[in-house]
Amino acid sequence: MIIVISDSATDAQVEQFVKNMEGRGLTAKAIHGDSKRVFGIVGDTGSIDAESLMRNDAIEKVMKVTAPYKLSGRSFHPDDTALSLLASADAGGPKIGGGFFAVAAGPCSVESEEQILTIAQDVKRSGAALLRGGAFKPRTSPFAFQGLGLDGLDLLKIARQKTGLGIVTEIMSTEHLGVFEKDVDIIQVGARNMQNFALLRELSVVGKPVLLKRGLSNTIDEMLQAADYVLSGGKASVILCERGIRTFETATRNTLDISAVPVLKNRSHLPVIVDPSHGTGYWDLVYPMSLAAVAAGADGLIIEVHDQPARALCDGQQSITPALFDSLMSRIGKVRAALN
Ligand code: PEP
Ligand code: MN
């Protein structure tokens, strides 16, 4: 952390500031400039609140030089993390990150046994590693379909048993932690809960990977700090997911930030995936944006697929058909081969 002292600060004020830093176990090293008095603060500055420091009249500017995130950051973990997608998997089971690529596909919501089984079989045939499907849905309106809840989770388990696909589904409340830990392969934290710190902390002691979606209005730094919460308990691992952010643009549901992929890969060792379905909101944009995400270096994708999009109970307009998904998967293979 670099501190620039105000021109008007007295020597006594500066001395007091240096003592204050020493009292916190830090060292304030003077950097001699021509016109400005500047200090470099050395030590663990993580607990220092820059805004509070600025209340001191003697301080003109505070600049943080270390990233606010740690556990998810590359500086503490230079190598890419590769995660096993199935808790039960042997060494040859599906993985993501560290050169491994995986796709999760399925409906926005689990609607019926027939629906989830049909789609699960279709996406498995096309090469998906995981089946997605919401059982607990975070809907803007309380009158919209809220998901089948625990019954939906049971249907996902049947689909896993019949296809061998791992299941990824969203948790909304800490009351379901036990059942998710037992029954789900990857626990999804949705965009609306990315900064639900109580939920993140509880997930940190659950031994299951967490798919953490970027909040609608959150920065990349905030996302990585949210990932730190999940990693802080030492048991969970994290897959980061770019799913579009809110901007002034109305032509798409969200603005898919493809540049987040290389930025996240640069700053973090965690696997990074992209959700082009929520990222754009339109089925015909899912195909090109999936290819763009792969070309940008994503370790995987999560895609909404529905066998009857026009009849979907949720997000039919952004769901692609199994046939289009199949074509997309083979094109993804070609893009990956070209990159290699
Ligand atoms: C979802 O994946 O079904 C979902 C609700 O996504 P998000 O949290 O990104 O809106
Ligand atoms: Mn959806």
Per cent of the chain over pLDDT 90 is 88
Residue ID of nearest Cα to ligand 1 atom 9: 191
Q: Which residues of 46-79 are buried (b: 16+ CB within 10 A; e: fewer)?
A: eebeeeebeebebbbebeeeebebbbbbeeeeee
Q: Which residues line ligand 1 (CB under 6 A)?
A: 108, 134, 138, 190-192, 213, 243, 275, 278
Same domain, 222 and 93: yes
Same domain, 33 and 140: no
On whether residue 70 sits in a domain, the answer given is: no
On whether residue 78 sits in a domain, the answer given is: no
Same domain, 49 and 190: no
Residue ID of nearest Cα to ligand 1 atom 10: 191
Number of compact structural domains in the chain: 2
Question: Which CATH number do you get for residue 37?
Answer: 3.30.70.1140
Same domain, 49 and 138: no
What value does the mean pLDDT take over residues 202-226? 97
Quick: pLDDT tens for 106-144: 999 999 999 999 999 999 999 999 999 999 999 999 999
Same domain, 172 and 295: yes
Quick: pLDDT tens for 305-333: 999 999 999 999 999 999 999 999 999 99
Same domain, 14 and 152: no
Closest approach atom of ligand 1 to CA 191 = 8
On whether residue 69 sits in a domain, the answer given is: no
Label residue 140 left, alpha or beta by phi (over 0 means left) and psi (-120 to 50 means alpha): alpha
Boundaries of domain holding 18:
2-63
* 186 alpha carbon – ligand 1 mean position (Å): 14
* 313 alpha carbon – ligand 2 mean position (Å): 10
Ligand minimally distant from the alpha carbon of residue 136: 1
Same domain, 59 and 99: no
What value does the mean pLDDT take over residues 239-265? 98
Identify the pLDDT of residue 67: 87
- 50 compared with 9, residue with greater pLDDT: 9
What pTM value is reported for the model?
0.92
Question: Which CATH number do you get for residue 311?
Answer: 3.20.20.70
Same domain, 12 and 91: no
* CB-based contact 149:136 (threshold 8 Å): yes
Closest approach atom of ligand 1 to CA 214 = 9
Same domain, 49 and 104: no
* Average per-residue pLDDT for the chain: 95
Q: CA-CA distance, 160 to 215, in Å (whole number)? A: 28
Closest approach atom of ligand 1 to CA 108 = 3
Query: Of 10, 35, 63, which residue is a domain's last?
Result: 63
